[in-house]
Amino acid sequence: MNKLSTNTMPSARGILAQRPDLALIADWIKTDTKVLDLGCGDGLLLQYLQTTKNVSGYGVEIDDCHIAPCLRNGINVIQGNLDQGLAEFDDNSFDYVVLSLTLQAMHNPAPLLDEMLRVGNAGIVTFPNFGHWRIRYSLGVHGILPVTPSLPHQWYNTPNIRLCTLGDFAELCRQRNISVQQRQTMDHNHIDSVMTRLFPSLFGEIALYRFTRYISQSI
């Protein structure tokens, strides 16, 4: 699957060529909207959205090494620590708040989801699925914590301290009155295959969720 080709200009396609996961997020974001990208890295998603969808917004990034690349990519980046919340952003300032492959590294992920829905109308989260068969196999058969392409660290040095499965995330959403609007999974090559569609909790390595505060019209 390559949704990227459906609605992007050839010149812009290159921006996300190496990041089909971001391309999928971008597909979920409507034109002329405001986006807050939490843990924005080098700012590729916002750069792409600005170029192709007339999106405006800000990236938040803690890591020194990403700030200058964000600026070179022409996006607004605000250096800050997501574990300290989003207090400096007012309620309902954004159409979308994106948290891409960052949830699992937060000390306090649950309040952050609430914060995302306070400052934005919709949240988009992606995270590595800890229920993937390779992880279950490693733990179940070998009895050791897995080292996989999407979770490449050892247990003692991993930044990924809040790992969850699709089921865990769905349960957290239910508890916090968060309505999941859309879900998709990909393998580590960021391909949405037949297997990831049929058995997402086993074959999806990366999970993408779009959610809002209230149950609403479209899925």
Partner 1 sequence: MPTHYPENSVGLIVPSTAHFADPLQLSCGEVLPTFDLIYETYGTLNPDASNAILICHALSGDHHAAGFHSAEDKKPGWWDTMIGPGKPLDTKQFFIVSCNNIGGCAGSTGPTAINPGSGKCYGPDFPIVTVQDWVSSQSRLADLLGIHRWLAIVGGSLGGMQALQWTIDFPDRVAHALIIAAAPKLTAQNIAFNEVARQAIRTDPDYHDGWYSEHNTLPARGLRLARMLGHITYLSDDIMAQKFGRDLRQGKVNFDFSVDFQVESYLRYQADSFVGRFDANTYLLMTKSLDYFDPAANHNGNLTLAVAAATASFLVISFSSDWRFAAGRSREIVKALHDNHLNVSYANITSSNGHDAFLMQNPQYFGIVQAYMDQAASRA
- List all residues 6 or more positions away from 4 whose beta carbon is below 8 Å from its beta carbon: 13, 16, 20, 23, 26, 27
8-state DSSP, 83: G
Residue of 7, 17, 63, 90 interacting with partner 1 (CB under 8 A):
90
The residue (of 118 and 188) whose beta carbon lies closer to partner 1 is: 118
8-state DSSP, 208: E
Residue of 67, 101, 145, 195 interacting with partner 1 (CB under 8 A):
67
Write down the least CB distance from residue 68 to partner 1, Å: 4
**Residues 12 to 31 in contact with partner 1, rule: CB under 8 A:** none
The residue (of 98 and 186) whose beta carbon lies closer to partner 1 is: 98
- Structural element, H or E, at residue 70: helix 64-72
The residue (of 53 and 210) whose beta carbon lies closer to partner 1 is: 53
123: β partners: 97, 211
Kindly list the distances between the CA atom of residue 143 and the CA atoms of 102, 136, 137, 146, in Å, as whole numbers in the listed order. 26, 9, 9, 9
User: Can residue 92 be called a binding residue for partner 1 (CB under 8 A)?
Assistant: no
The residue (of 60 and 122) whose beta carbon lies closer to partner 1 is: 60
Residue of 79, 92, 182, 216 interacting with partner 1 (CB under 8 A):
79
Binding mask 27-56 for partner 1 (x = CB under 8 A): -------x---------------------x
Residue of 27, 51, 76, 145 interacting with partner 1 (CB under 8 A):
76
- List all residues 6 or more positions away from 180 whose beta carbon is below 8 Å from its beta carbon: 170, 173, 209, 210, 211
Strands 34-38 and 94-100: parallel
User: Can residue 64 be called a binding residue for partner 1 (CB under 8 A)?
Assistant: yes
Instruction: Give the CA angle between residues 95, 190, 1 to the nearest 5°.
Output: 85
Residue of 2, 17, 18, 71 interacting with partner 1 (CB under 8 A):
71
Write down the least CB distance from residue 82 to partner 1, Å: 14
User: Can residue 215 be called a binding residue for partner 1 (CB under 8 A)?
Assistant: no
Round the CA-based radius of gyration of the chain to a whole number and report it: 17
Residue with tokens 């574990």: 83
Which stretches of the chain bind partner 1, using CB under 8 A? 34, 56, 58, 64, 67-72, 74-80, 88-90, 93
